[in-house]
Amino acid sequence: METTPAVDAAIRSWRKALGENSIVAEADFLATYTDSVCSSTRQVVAVLMPGSAEDIQKIVAIANEYHVPLYPISCGKQWGLGSRLPVRDGAAIVDLGRMNRIIEVNAEHHYAVVEPGVTQRQLLDHIKEHELPVMLNVTGSASDTSLIGNAMDRGVGYFDSRADSISNMQVVLGNGEIIQTGFGHYAKAKTKNLYPHGIGPSLDGLLQQANFGIVASACIDLMPKPDEHMAAIIKIDSEAKLPQLVDALIRLRSRGVFLSVAHVGNRERSYITLAPLLYEQLLAAGEPEGEATRSKAIQMLEDNGFGPWSAAIGVLGTKGQIKLAKKEIKKAVGSFSKTLFLNDTLVRRAKALCKKLTFIPFFHRQSMMLKAIEPVYGFTRGEATDESLKAVYWAAGDYQNLEEHNPDHSNSGLLFCLPIIPASGSTVTEVVADTRDTFARHGFTAAITVNLMGTKAMEGVVSLAFDRRNEAQTKAAHACIQEMEARYMEQGYPPYRVGINSMHHVVSEDDSFWRTAREIKKALDPNGIIAPGRYNLI
């Protein structure tokens, strides 16, 4: 990208303020940041790598002086929604990955104070190393994804929304001021990480999905480790039973039988998640690479009852609560589904038995199936994994990249739609049917998950896989997602997150909400340097 005199001057000033190792503007390096699994392109002028809140302040001051926009990322793994790419051309990316200190972990009050570069893996390793009796609300994405980055975009974990678990933020605003939200701005406050609201206006929610500033640290809620844990995997053999399954889960959640997120995925979602894990095990057992072995992995899933829809629930509590939950789940879904209940003891015994009897084909296959299910089971007990990334490559037919840990560096294409749907079996069924029809018109099959987050609403996770090397397919994929998002809006199911190409679906000059957000932006970031166009009119 050709730079302007103002950009050149800003780069010189950033080099002087941050040091040579904290800024890169060479074209070859910038290209590694603009590769994206969503197959979009943006022009960026530099990558800045601060090491502290003070560094961020220097970056913001220079950006204001020369009117060069900034685009902050935590780890940049916003796959399917833009990765590390800004909404608009011409920004300098602020990569916060070097700010990866775990400032505090409090087991008694179950919280962690971290910087934006801290990942799921890093915090989980810390918890394990120090044998702390706490759990993390993990997401189904990779281990090395940012805790703060995901929470700031209102990601949803396996137990709850991440948006509800972040507080006490230290933020460098676009005007250069550093603020601390909640009680954090009172030096002697002993409850700054215990009571999220503080006193006065609550700014935490105002800063999420906003482009007013850059978060330098925040408090992330953890969960006390329960006495017992159980996972329920519920499988139905007919699409017609989907509304019955959804409504049963809603009733169970409303009665408090389980309090985590219930994840309900269609056949395509189950297969792209589990088939690559089975495929790799078949290869390890001596099967040849290729379509025949991939088909064998699919057949194993069918033989094990993974039909049109499957649900996964994590249940935490005392031994008595787990026993009662198992009874209630059986009563609610037993008449129309098959349910597999797993806990650590059962998994350990099953693995030992299958290992002992592996010479018997049935037990050998069951051992493979158990290993394939283990990462999903792990999610329900607060464990992160990189195995879920294989679903990206499997869905796109990019089988040679199954071990790649960054989809941006593969041939795979991935785009997401994320509508919020009323918690109702009939409504979910209607939305699923329309989604399938829309995808089919564009030549794609939708992998769909509907996640029951409470008793009122469900998060839709609709993914589209394509081959980025195929220009026609890439164009069709983007057209499909744009139509799908427009349809969700028309039907009254707005998304809770959108990618960099879809801000126009949710942001409108005609809406007083967005005009107000613009006025707040002008007050907190008068020169409009922080992430222009991201969830805002400016």
CATH number at 428 reads 3.40.462.10
Q: CB-side exposure of 20: number of CA atoms within 13 Å?
A: 0
Closest C-alpha to 213, from 162, 183, 170: 170
Q: What is the pLDDT, as a whole number, of residue 346?
A: 82
Per residue in 377-397, pLDDT (tens digit) is 899 999 999 999 999 999 999
Domain boundary among 98, 131, 148: 98
- CA distance linking residue 419 with residue 497, whole number of Å: 8
Asked if residue 464 and residue 323 are part of one domain, the reply reads: no
Asked if residue 276 and residue 354 are part of one domain, the reply reads: yes
305 compared with 296, residue with greater pLDDT? 296
Asked if residue 417 and residue 364 are part of one domain, the reply reads: no
Asked if residue 456 and residue 366 are part of one domain, the reply reads: no
Asked if residue 379 and residue 244 are part of one domain, the reply reads: yes
Residue 457 lies in a domain: yes
Residue 214 lies in a domain: no
Scanning the structure block, which residue is given the tokens 């792209």? 272
Per residue in 219-230, pLDDT (tens digit) is 999 999 999 999
Helix (H, G, I), strand (E, B) or coil at 204: helix
Task: Evaluate if residue 534 carries a pLDDT over 70.
Answer: yes
Asked if residue 420 and residue 361 are part of one domain, the reply reads: no
Residue 476's domain comprises 407-506
Residue 369 lies in a domain: yes
Number of domains in the chain: 3
- The tokens of 275 are what? 């088939």
Asked if residue 421 and residue 356 are part of one domain, the reply reads: no
Task: Evaluate if residue 363 carries a pLDDT over 80.
Answer: no
Per residue in 507-531, pLDDT (tens digit) is 999 999 999 999 999 999 999 999 9
- To the nearest 10 degrees (0 to 180), the angle between helices 5-18 and 53-66 is 160
Give the DSSP letter of residue 1: -
Asked if residue 262 and residue 326 are part of one domain, the reply reads: yes
- CA distance linking residue 94 with residue 521, whole number of Å: 19
Residue 433 lies in a domain: yes
* Ranges assigned E (strand) in 300-384: 309-317, 338-342
Q: What is the pLDDT, as a whole number, of residue 358?
A: 73
Asked if residue 46 and residue 14 are part of one domain, the reply reads: yes
Helix (H, G, I), strand (E, B) or coil at 46: strand
**CATH number for the domain including 42?**
3.30.43.10
Q: What is the pLDDT, as a whole number, of residue 371?
A: 87
Per residue in 55-79, pLDDT (tens digit) is 999 999 999 999 999 999 999 999 9
Per residue in 106-151, pLDDT (tens digit) is 999 999 999 999 999 999 999 999 999 999 999 999 999 999 999 9
* Ranges assigned E (strand) in 350-438: 412-417, 420-422
Scanning the structure block, which residue is given the tokens 């609709």? 462
Per residue in 313-341, pLDDT (tens digit) is 999 999 999 999 999 999 999 999 999 99
| Cα–Cα distances in angstroms (integers) from residue 171 to residues 53, 60, 147, 327, 337, in the given order | 8, 12, 16, 47, 48
8 Å CB contact between 59 and 15: no
Task: Name every residue whose Cβ is closer than 8 Å to that of residue 431 and which is 6 or more positions away in sequence.
Answer: 419, 421, 460, 488, 491, 493
Asked if residue 380 and residue 261 are part of one domain, the reply reads: yes
Residue 293 lies in a domain: yes
Closest C-alpha to 477, from 489, 491, 463: 463
- The tokens of 369 are what? 């199936």
For the residues 70-98, what does the mean pLDDT come to?
97
Residue 394 lies in a domain: no
Residue 218 lies in a domain: no
For the residues 252-280, what does the mean pLDDT come to?
96
Q: What is the pLDDT, as a whole number, of residue 65?
A: 98
Task: Evaluate if residue 35 carries a pLDDT over 70.
Answer: yes
- CA distance linking residue 313 with residue 447, whole number of Å: 19
| DSSP assignment string, 222-233 | -EEPPSEEEEEE
Domain boundary among 98, 125, 153: 98
- CA distance linking residue 88 with residue 239, whole number of Å: 42
Asked if residue 234 and residue 90 are part of one domain, the reply reads: no
Q: What is the pLDDT, as a whole number, of residue 447?
A: 98
For the residues 172-179, what does the mean pLDDT come to?
98
Domain boundary among 78, 98, 118: 98
Asked if residue 332 and residue 420 are part of one domain, the reply reads: no
Residue 193 lies in a domain: no
Q: Would you place residue 1 in the very low, low, confident or very high pLDDT band (cuts 50, 70, 90)?
A: low
Which residue type sits at 362? Answer: F
Scanning the structure block, which residue is given the tokens 């919020």? 420
